[in-house]
């Protein structure tokens, strides 16, 4: 049964963007949205991980967990998904130790 997927890419080869656009719509540059089967989703993600090179990619798809979705990442990235008691949180990298994040309201 098809389900919605979102694939976000940064600095990936043009041929990868073309391959993704065969199955999804590029709604803004580098953001692909579509409704595909789990098999197609996994094959698309394999194509992404095989060709992402120095870029970065993120896949979000439905999952039977508390959040209702799962995510996968590939390539060089600033944000790293981590599991925190069953929830996926995003850890930012590149912030010096002891430096506090400022909140913006």
Q: What are the residue ranges spanned by the domains of the chain?
A: 3-78
Cross-strand partners of 36: 3
**Distance between CA atoms of residues 89 and 1, nearest Å:** 28
- pLDDT by residue for the chain (105 residues), tens only, comes to 889 999 999 999 999 999 999 999 999 999 999 999 999 999 999 999 999 988 999 999 999 999 999 999 998 876 788 888 888 888 876 555 555 555 444
Mention the CATH class of domain 3-78: alpha beta
- What is the residue whose two structure tokens read 């069953």? 86
pLDDT number for residue 95: 53
pLDDT number for residue 86: 85
- What is the residue whose two structure tokens read 């890419």? 9
What is this structure's pTM? 0.82
């Amino acid at each position: 049964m098809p389900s919605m997927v979102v694939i976000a890419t940064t600095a990936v080869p043009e041929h990868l963007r073309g391959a993704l656009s065969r199955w999804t719509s590029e709604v803004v540059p580098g953001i692909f949205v579509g409704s595909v089967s789990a098999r197609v989703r996994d094959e698309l993600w394999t194509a992404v991980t095989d060709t992402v090179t120095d870029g970065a990619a993120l896949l979000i798809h439905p999952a039977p967990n508390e959040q209702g979705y799962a995510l996968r990442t590939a390539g060089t990235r600033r944000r790293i998904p981590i599991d925190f008691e069953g929830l996926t949180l995003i850890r930012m990298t590149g912030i010096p130790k002891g430096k506090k994040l400022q909140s913006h309201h």
